[in-house]
Structure 1
Amino acid sequence: MKRIFKTLLLLSMSLLSLHVYAGDMTAFVDPLYWHASEETASIWASTYTTSGNDEKYAVDNIHFDSNPGIRAGLRYSPDGHYWDTRLYFTHFSADDKLSYPADGQLIFPQFFSGFFGGNCFFVPGLPNCFFAADAKWKLTMNTIDLDASHEYKATKSLTIRPSIGVKAAAIDQDIDVNWNEEIFISKEDVKHDFTGIGPSFGIDVTWNFYKELNLASDLSGALLWGNWNVKDTYTRPALLDGLVPSSQISTHMDDNKLGVAMLDYFLGVEWLHESDYELALKLGYEMQYWQNQLRLTTFQQLPTHGDLTLQGVTCGISIKF
């Protein structure tokens, strides 16, 4: 992924150098406050409880809270009718913790290695069951975009800006689970890493409805060639002073390649002030949709194809000088 980022950076510097003799530069920063969701693909455990003659099975998903993020970059606008060049970076991270205290239920892992750990009779291949468990799930997304765009005045108050470019992305998910069997605690570590790169396209529409106030709508997408690496490792400690040896089960899904689509949409209000410099402030709603992002191997021996959705508040400030 570092190689991809370096390539895009060198390419952007080359494009900027083509028109370095004249033009304007715009710096922008967008604070983000988004909510991440992969439901209902983010199942990590199921529980079994009894009450009299009643039996109840339940599954639990990870429910992320809203978290802050950042997007920042530069836009170079050459004089004349050349297309603008923009380079920007986006970072977003979310994590959540869940736990099942010992409360008379049986807990079954949903990940492949944990489910077949065989702790009940210390025989690999038999389903695992526990009395308590706790999990931490962390998601980190980094993307870098390089695009070229051109502004067209459809009417006096309506501006349209189409764009085309390249998007690179790295989305890493780490899941750490402690499975508690009272006499021992097993650990399961799941690493889910995605990298991808591909062409991007978009269109921004701005409508000036009152003096310095604009209604801003941005729609963009990308088609990425993606690569997934997933590693699921379940470890049980030794028991009875070593009479029962420790065991480890690992499941790998390496270099799983697939084309994947992503979409991004923003709708909000922008305040634009022009004097010796141009200052813009914006506030609105944004949503990103990543198709087939979560690819965990479950005990059914089938990879989950769960979509990732990021949505929430996006605000921003930009200065043109």
Structure 2
Amino acid sequence: MKMDIKSKWPIAALSLIGMASSVSAARDDRCAPERPANCYADDCKHCYCLGPDNYGVNAPTCPKTCNGDITITVAGFYWNGHQDGMEYAIDNHVKAPVTSAITGLSDTQVLNRLIDAKFLTPDFDWDWGFKIGLSYCSPCDGWDIGVLWTWYQGSANDHVEREIDDNASLLPIWSAYAPLIGGVLFATDIETHWKLKLNLVDIELGRSFWTSKYLSMRPFVGIRIAYIDQTYEIEHKGGSWSATSTTAPSQTAFNNEVRLENDFKSAGLRGGLNTLWNFGCGWGLYGNFAMSILYGRFDIDHDETNRNARSPHEKAKIADAKNSFRVSRGAADLALGFQWQTMFCDCQYGFMI
């Protein structure tokens, strides 16, 4: 099982809230800051920055100071993470046989027919994440360098049951179990739990500059470090895991668990462009784009066990497979939204949402 990073292809994502504050570094009194952008105070009752009237020189957006400026970024977002290939069963509209009445292979052959069948996948949840960053805008033509950490933990869960009266059956996809009675593998109860842990560390070198009075851009290059850990648990009950009758091969009731792990650790090059379209009064529309090429290692683990449903609940290993390989993967970051910013303390500090 391989995962697309952010969407790998991470990951569809929606960033709701972002906050950043810019703090001017300590300065010599003899070196007053020289703002390349004008700080306006108007009917909005707050100050905000726009580009200079003469924009032919592409002035940097950060103030020109002796020691540069520091920016601290703290942002929250609300994402919905998706993973392909998560189908765990086939919901088949064919009545499953009564397990206690199964006496041989032929009793389950009716399940080989698929009627109005569909694949079942977990329901992916919306979850919160955050970004924390620190950057320094140097006095060297407004070049900036910084680091940004992104943390996100996603999940997906599902639980489905099919009773005899439902005239339907569940055909597991991930299980390697072969019941003693043989025939088609089926279950009456399946529960799934998927968890994703995403950690991204971006180190960037860029320059934010005014292309006009109301438009600023920031091209950048850098390095991305990505850790993506996934765990997928599937629990099967009933059906082929039920106790059989005395006339069939003897089998006690089991609870089956399939556990899949997929870990990807990687690093690579990253580059992109951030844009900000200012409307005035501090409001603006931002549109950001970045591409990454990540080289890393996949570590994959597939375990399956049967646990006796009755005391003393012994466990029996059904499958244990591992694999690892190295590969390059592409990643794309897209962001589009509105922001509001203001300046205070004589335009020495800034706040942005």
Question: Aligned partners of 2:309, 2:191: CA distance in 1, in Å?
Answer: 21
The TM-score normalised by the length of structure 1 is 0.72
State the structure with more CA Rg: 2
Residue 263, structure 1, aligned to residue 332, structure 2 = yes
Question: Aligned partners of 1:252, 1:214: CA distance in 2, in Å?
Answer: 50
Residue 210, structure 1, aligned to residue 291, structure 2 = no
Residue 172, structure 1, aligned to residue 229, structure 2 = yes
**Cα displacement (A) at 1:44:** 1.6
Is the 2:233–2:257 contact (alpha carbons within 8 Å) kept by the matching residues of 1? yes
Q: Which amino acid aligns with 1:228?
A: F
Residue number in structure 2 paired with 1:136: 193
Q: Which amino acid aligns with 1:205?
A: T
Residue number in structure 2 paired with 1:280: 351
Distance change (3 Å), C-alpha of 1:241 and 1:31: closer
Question: Aligned partners of 1:127, 1:221: CA distance in 2, in Å?
Answer: 46
Question: Aligned partners of 1:127, 1:29: CA distance in 2, in Å?
Answer: 53
Would you say how many aligned residue pairs link Structure 1 and Structure 2?
Answer: 253
Residue 156, structure 1, aligned to residue 227, structure 2 = no
Q: Which amino acid aligns with 2:200?
A: T
**Cα displacement (A) at 1:274:** 1.9
**Cα displacement (A) at 1:240:** 9.7
SS at 1:272 equivalent:
strand
Is the 1:37–1:63 contact (alpha carbons within 8 Å) kept by the matching residues of 2? no
Residue number in structure 2 paired with 1:200: 270
Is the 2:145–2:204 contact (alpha carbons within 8 Å) kept by the matching residues of 1? yes
Distance change (3 Å), C-alpha of 1:79 and 1:168: same
The TM-score normalised by the length of structure 2 is 0.66
Q: Which amino acid aligns with 2:127?
A: N
Deviation string, structure 1 residues 87-114 (Cα, Å, up to 9, x no partner): 0111111112211224234323222xx1
Q: Which amino acid aligns with 2:211?
A: A
Instruction: Tell me the C-alpha RMSD between the 2 structures.
Output: 2.6
Mapping of residues 226-265 of structure 1, within 5 Å? 226-237=296-307, 246-254=316-324, 256-265=325-334
Residue number in structure 2 paired with 1:36: 81
**Cα displacement (A) at 1:201:** 0.3
**Cα displacement (A) at 1:191:** 0.7
Is the 2:217–2:274 contact (alpha carbons within 8 Å) kept by the matching residues of 1? yes
Question: Aligned partners of 2:310, 2:82: CA distance in 1, in Å?
Answer: 42
Question: Aligned partners of 2:255, 2:228: CA distance in 1, in Å?
Answer: 29
Within the candidate set 147, 151, 159, 1:87 is matched to 147
User: Which structure dedicates a bigger proportion of its chain to strand?
Assistant: 1
Deviation string, structure 1 residues 73-100 (Cα, Å, up to 9, x no partner): 1111112315201101111111122112
Q: Which segments of 5 or more consecutive residues in structure 2 lack a partner in the other structure?
A: 1-65, 96-109, 243-252
Distance change (3 Å), C-alpha of 1:31 and 1:238: closer
